[in-house]
Structure 1
């Protein structure tokens, strides 16, 4: 018995070492891919998203002012020492040619502060005319308002929730409390709602159109199914920009679609089918339709035809057999296709920008605007972070529902 136990222990150790070697070899094989993804995907995205809470533009330019305002709580104007510190920082920043950086950051908080800061720095004398407080207020009355100084405090960094709050149409007031942004500045909630509504609409259209196509592909002989699949995949071989521009040509007032509608008498005058929501839905549905068809086709091909025949033999009508036997088996494909199309639609930029109107631009347009036009990386990162969080939340809900279905089936 002792020899047998020793042999068993030796075998277990040998199997354990062999399994460990296989795991190490597997990790070594995928290590280059992991490093590549970290360097070109995870790290750049994490660095971009970090800018949503990073705020280090103002403090290096105005360190004396930030230090002087550390004990100010937003009640009344700060003391003369804060005005003197601001004067010293402005004089130094103008000499170092960094005043534009501070002015740009304050302008994010309140439109017009860039002009106030740059004009004040240009006109600021080397010595005060009385007190520095009177000198600043004489140069611009905005320096006599607590909101101006509260903006400096909010931009003091090094971390901030300013961009995330602004992305939700919120802001902090003079006392630091979170309040709603003014009505004329509150746009992002509507943009988020619009983005989700367009994505849901495109997902529903893709499902309605893609389900019959996938069913046709799954029920045809392989020779015909392969030919039809080539037609489904054909859009992947054409540039997205070319496809979107083609829809502009087809849907415009004098385009092919309007010519057909008016020629058949279905419309008395050309319809407005482009540069509005209709054009966005048509173009995005066309682009994303294959992403719905492919998961559905994959699941439908795995459903045995004998299931429907068995339902017919037991007396079920065709509609009842389809709804109660066939359709439930396609739910994994419907879920995967809907999730894929919805997530892709959330981040679409080119198609809505080309075929949509001003009221049809999605969140991606605003992210691109802040990245390329105003170079407001913090705001672009905050909008992207919230969009990513919403996407991950939806995926978590989907994974939970799929897991619950699998447990019931098990």
Structure 2
């Protein structure tokens, strides 16, 4: 039998669709089309979840370890500090000081030095003001050299002679023909200038690119930074420029001769920095810069558990600086207390609603839902008025003679006030899941148990209560997760002893702007919630949690 005949027989044995396509292939195509249609239907919801839920969580996790601001703002200093042994107690060498001068000068021009100071200030108090002072005073170093070069030849203080010497002929021609409103030409260094004046070429390149791209100004009209004059001094002192014959060669030769004279005034970078702020002479400042120079750090997570990075590794903070461990314990404890308080108060209410006639139950349910129609801030403020020492509750207790006027109860700005206010606010979230489950329990079960001789208590405990447990579980999870992340109510009524870890997270986000630490605290809180959720699933079983039905 030939192959063609065999193929024809196999094809003839297949079940075909109406259009002649094999049925199996046609079904696969139809299923693929249905899947694509289903995917397109859920795509908006999927995108919404990714953008509003998954992406923020991933961003939070990234911010909790991201630390690139140090290495990006002080790139040369970071490289030099790698070879510095901070254990000796000696300050870094002169090369590191000069690298810091260049980095901070450039950062100050871009207004980034204060951000860096704020970041390092999280690790060592006082560094923020240190960088602010240094940013304002760095011009003083270069002005020592700028003034002497200018006294020698005023051209050193003008933009065009510098641009002619440091830039290529093509760039200078384009710069000369440039008119305001036209795109600025891209800076191109003169061939060979980097070999003659390496420090100056590098410093002028920073200046030129900054002026052209960020300031959008002509290099023929802008005098160079004082940093460029300092770099020129370094090159003239270290090298030989006698072989240079390009533009500005005569000026350069005169400056070279000036630098070699004994009357030429110089200033040590280290002395200048210490004059800005004596804290630069503190080894701890440089140790902090080196410790937090990697682009990623565990420092935020260590701070979140009352630890800190040190040259020898992680170590505990001083006793009086440990606050986050206490806040985490307090948050978990008070959230559990609030959850149990809600269970005790919500269970009888839900039981009553589920066993009343539907018309009456619906009317009473309005009272349960009424708090949702009132502002959270109003409800919390009302408790502050009621619980204060001159508030309604204390006045009633004094009027009844249960409390002396001089010994009024302190029920606000503490844990008690937070528990009372949050129990009231979260109570509806416990009642509704309980009610939805209890309303599905058939009354015939209770009647059957009683008809068999069971007492009211036995009927409730052995028959009714086990069927209501899924509602308790659903309400408990909902209330606990809401409570552990609350911060508005504890902020208003909690005082110093009733605040949660979420209040500290909100503080770091809105006030201290320490987003890395806030992200680390939020990540730890997320992990704690997931662990508790996992434990609940192992002990109770998440399948037993129901919202009714």
TM-score (norm 2): 0.68
Instruction: Within 5 Å, give how 1:71-90 maps onto structure 2.
Output: 71-72=83-84, 74-76=86-88, 77=90, 78-90=92-104
Taking a change above 3 Å as real, the CA distance of residues 66 and 32 of structure 1, as seen in their structure-2 partners, is same
2:303 pairs with 1:166: yes
2:320 pairs with 1:184: yes
Query: Within 2, Cα distance between the matches of 1:7 and 1:90?
Result: 78
- Could you give the per-residue CA deviations for residues 58-103 of structure 1, whole angstroms, max 9, x where no partner exists? 2222111011122345322343322232233233333443321221
2:53 pairs with 1:41: yes
Query: Within 2, Cα distance between the matches of 1:118 and 1:346?
Result: 39
Query: Within 1, Cα distance between the matches of 2:38 and 2:402?
Result: 63
- Could you give the per-residue CA deviations for residues 304-349 of structure 1, whole angstroms, max 9, x where no partner exists? 2222223223333222232222222222111111111000001111
2:445 pairs with 1:307: yes
Taking a change above 3 Å as real, the CA distance of residues 405 and 73 of structure 1, as seen in their structure-2 partners, is farther
Instruction: Within 5 Å, give how 1:310-329 maps onto structure 2.
Output: 310-329=448-467
Report what 2:259 is aligned to: none
Taking a change above 3 Å as real, the CA distance of residues 86 and 256 of structure 1, as seen in their structure-2 partners, is same
Report what 1:109 is aligned to: 123
TM-score (norm 1): 0.89
What count of residue pairs does the alignment treat as equivalent? 404
- Could you give the per-residue CA deviations for residues 183-241 of structure 1, whole angstroms, max 9, x where no partner exists? 22211000111111111111010000001111111111111111111111111111111
Q: 1:100 aligns with which of 114, 128, 142?
A: 114
Q: 2:431 aligns with which of 261, 275, 293?
A: 293
The 10-residue stretch of structure 1 (39-48 or 284-293) with the greater mean CA deviation from structure 2:
39-48
Contact 1:202–1:284, Cα closer than 8 Å, also in 2: yes
Report what 1:238 is aligned to: 374
Secondary structure of the structure 1 residue equivalent to 2:315: strand
Instruction: Within 5 Å, give how 1:200-349 maps onto structure 2.
Output: 200-269=336-405, 270-349=408-487
Taking a change above 3 Å as real, the CA distance of residues 119 and 218 of structure 1, as seen in their structure-2 partners, is same
2:512 pairs with 1:374: yes
Structure 1 residue 365 displacement after superposition = 1.2
Q: 1:28 aligns with which of 40, 44, 48?
A: 40
Contact 1:292–1:337, Cα closer than 8 Å, also in 2: yes
Report what 2:526 is aligned to: 388
Taking a change above 3 Å as real, the CA distance of residues 337 and 11 of structure 1, as seen in their structure-2 partners, is farther
Query: Within 2, Cα distance between the matches of 1:305 and 1:153?
Result: 71
Report what 2:147 is aligned to: none
Report what 1:50 is aligned to: 62
Contact 2:413–2:497, Cα closer than 8 Å, also in 1: no
Secondary structure of the structure 2 residue equivalent to 1:109: coil
Taking a change above 3 Å as real, the CA distance of residues 404 and 241 of structure 1, as seen in their structure-2 partners, is closer
Q: 1:147 aligns with which of 259, 284, 287?
A: 284
Contact 1:147–1:174, Cα closer than 8 Å, also in 2: no
Report what 1:59 is aligned to: 71
Secondary structure of the structure 2 residue equivalent to 1:360: coil
Name the structure, 1 or 2, with higher relative contact order (CA <8 Å, separation 6+).
1
Query: Within 2, Cα distance between the matches of 1:33 and 1:297?
Result: 30
Contact 1:250–1:256, Cα closer than 8 Å, also in 2: yes
Report what 1:198 is aligned to: 334
What are the ranges of 5 or more consecutive residues in structure 1 without an aligned counterpart? Answer: none
Q: 1:157 aligns with which of 283, 287, 294?
A: 294
Secondary structure of the structure 1 residue equivalent to 2:429: helix
2:82 pairs with 1:70: yes
Report what 2:495 is aligned to: 357
Query: Within 2, Cα distance between the matches of 1:178 and 1:313?
Result: 68
Taking a change above 3 Å as real, the CA distance of residues 5 and 73 of structure 1, as seen in their structure-2 partners, is farther
Structure 1 residue 291 displacement after superposition = 0.8
Query: Within 2, Cα distance between the matches of 1:14 and 1:223?
Result: 55
Contact 2:60–2:523, Cα closer than 8 Å, also in 1: no
The 10-residue stretch of structure 1 (49-58 or 116-125) with the greater mean CA deviation from structure 2:
116-125
